[in-house]
Structure 1
């Protein structure tokens, strides 16, 4: 199949396919009969794999690692599990950070009555503060 057909079949743009090629996520296609590069069904499966992994939060670098594990005859399920557990911890850390942001912003919103001149807005004052408050991490 051509690059356009592959892109359409996988629900991505042609530039996405080219980007995946540059990143080594899909191999260089073989030359076709009419000078067009020919992609295989396996290439389509790899693109779908990349999309699925992205949907779970994996970066393209991590996806390249997963793809390498996928084709290695020495890979164990424990190897893959290790990458997945590391990703889970990354996600947990991001969630902790987002909850902290939410609490801080919520406090600012609570302090803002929503009326009055802009010059007395606690949200803008806090954002303009040259010495932001240090956040402390709670241990769980």
Structure 2
């Protein structure tokens, strides 16, 4: 299939498919006499795998390692499990950071309701964000 057909089937722009091909996430397409890329039927499932892996939070480099393992004849399941376990740890850490940020923002909002904007000095820039509450 031509790149436009593949792009339509995958719901991706043609540019993305070309990018994935350059990064080695897709096998290089055969070229027709006209120079157009002709992708075989195995490319669409590969694209869907890349999309699923990205949706799970894997980077393109991580996805590449999975594809490389499979390409070398290895079953990548344990590697994928390790990657997604790491992602879960990262997500949980981000959630903690976001919860802390949420608390800090609530404090700042409460501060903003108590402070008078007329009390702001040029040195403070904005007394809501000043380190010392006045």
Larger radius of gyration between Structure 1 and Structure 2: 2
Q: Which moved more, 1:36-45 or 1:73-82?
A: 73-82
Q: Which moved more, 1:35-44 or 1:10-19?
A: 35-44
Aligned residues: 128
Gaps of 5+ in 1: 130-140
TM-score, reference length from structure 1? 0.76
Establish whether residue 92 from structure 1 lines up as the match of residue 92 from structure 2: yes
Q: Distance in 2 between matches of 1:54 and 1:118?
A: 49
Q: Which moved more, 1:81-90 or 1:69-78?
A: 69-78
TM-score, reference length from structure 2? 0.79
RMSD (CA atoms) = 2.6
Within 5 Å, give how 1:1-140 maps onto structure 2: 1-75=1-75, 77-113=77-113, 116-117=116-117, 120=120, 124-125=126-127, 127=129
Q: CA deviation at 1:30?
A: 0.8
Maintained 8 Å contact 2:29/2:38: yes
Q: CA deviation at 1:17?
A: 0.8
Gaps of 5+ in 2: none
